[in-house]
Amino acid sequence: MKRIITLFFIFIFALSCSKTQTQNTEADNSLQKVKENGKLVLGLDDTFAPMGFRDEEGNIVGFDIDLAKEVANRLGVELVAKPVDWSSVVLSLKKGDVDVVWNGFAINETRKEQVNFTKPYLNNRLMIVKNADRADIKTKDDLKGKILGVQTGSSNYESLEADPISKEAKEVRQYDIYANAFLDLEAKRIDAVVVDEIVGRYYISKEKADFEVLEDNPITSQYLSVGLRKTDTELLNAIDKALDDMRADGKASEISTKWFGKDIFIKG
């Protein structure tokens, strides 16, 4: 009798596991759903240049937009860029309003609890930009006694304040927007600007300014990735494969150089 009862429970357990596996397989039809809909819906803040923003004609353009369009094309679908409230972008993803969050989306532990990330494609470092003719500024240590510019009220200001170099600088000037900081840098009213690498390189490329980015000793560093729902493994794998293919065939490098004047796409 005990043997029969034991076999019965083993059968029930096996049936339950089989059912769960079948449900999980059926639940993850994320790639199929995107292909059936014929579109990949991307959630973004459409004011974040150069990742995703509106040009003078009102079209949504940017580095991430070009990347995503190429990925969508390789998946055989159309990219639809959908502006959302960035403060609730993860909620928009979970509700199914968008398929991906792709707009300078930084990986952090809090977000990891709520979404899955593709492999990172950019390392957005907090960098130092100087005038190209400043031979006396080669490393972060050379900023001692110098006047630095940073955007007011930003996380960049907080990161700079937390770095010992801010205490050794002559002055840290705050600007409402980075464009004004770069104007002062060009006029040599300040010695360097502390800015996100993606913003700094974009500004230099766009304005053709005679600035240089110090490559060594970034103040902080964070990886950028594509965010997806926890259930959407198939779509995540497909996007990762497309990005890997773009690394291999040079398309990612081409897009990076277009926006930043240099290939800063993470290799592998």
Residue with tokens 């592998």: 268
Integer Cα distance of 220 and 185 in angstroms: 21
Whole-number Cα distances in Å, 26 to 13, 32, 56, 150, 197: 20, 11, 44, 50, 42
pLDDT tens digits, 76-89: 999 999 999 988 99
- 86 belongs to a structural domain: yes
Closest CA to 192 of 150, 151, 141, 135: 150
- 235 belongs to a structural domain: yes
Q: Which domain holds residue 88?
A: 30-115+229-260
- 236 belongs to a structural domain: yes
Q: What are phi and psi of 105, to 5 degrees?
A: -85, 110
Q: Where does the pLDDT of residue 55 fall: very low under 50, low under 70, confident under 90, or very high at 90 and above?
A: very high
Q: The domain that contains 255 carries what CATH number? A: 3.40.190.10
**Residue 16 predicted with pLDDT over 70:** no
pLDDT tens digits, 172-213: 999 998 989 999 999 999 999 999 999 999 999 988 889 999
> Does residue 39 sit in the same domain as residue 111?
yes
- 10 belongs to a structural domain: no
> Does residue 195 sit in the same domain as residue 241?
no
**Residue 23 predicted with pLDDT over 90:** no
Q: What is the mean pLDDT of the chain?
A: 90
- 8 belongs to a structural domain: no
- 21 belongs to a structural domain: no
> Does residue 201 sit in the same domain as residue 69?
no
Q: Where does the pLDDT of residue 24 fall: very low under 50, low under 70, confident under 90, or very high at 90 and above?
A: very low
> Does residue 55 sit in the same domain as residue 130?
no
> Does residue 196 sit in the same domain as residue 138?
yes
- 201 belongs to a structural domain: yes
Q: What's the CA angle centered on 262, arms 226 and 246, to 5 degrees? A: 45
For residue 19, what pLDDT is reported? 47
> Does residue 181 sit in the same domain as residue 249?
no
**Angle 251-260/197-207 helices, nearest 10 degrees?**
70
> Does residue 130 sit in the same domain as residue 211?
yes
Helix, strand, coil percent content, the chain, rounded in steps of 5: 45, 25, 30
pTM: 0.80
Q: Are 175 and 129 in contact (CB under 8 A)?
A: no
> Does residue 65 sit in the same domain as residue 144?
no
Average pLDDT over residues 224-245: 98
Integer Cα distance of 104 and 126 in angstroms: 14
Closest CA to 233 of 78, 30, 42: 30
> Does residue 92 sit in the same domain as residue 34?
yes
Closest CA to 268 of 253, 258, 260, 255: 253
> Does residue 52 sit in the same domain as residue 130?
no
Number of domains in the chain: 2
> Does residue 214 sit in the same domain as residue 170?
yes
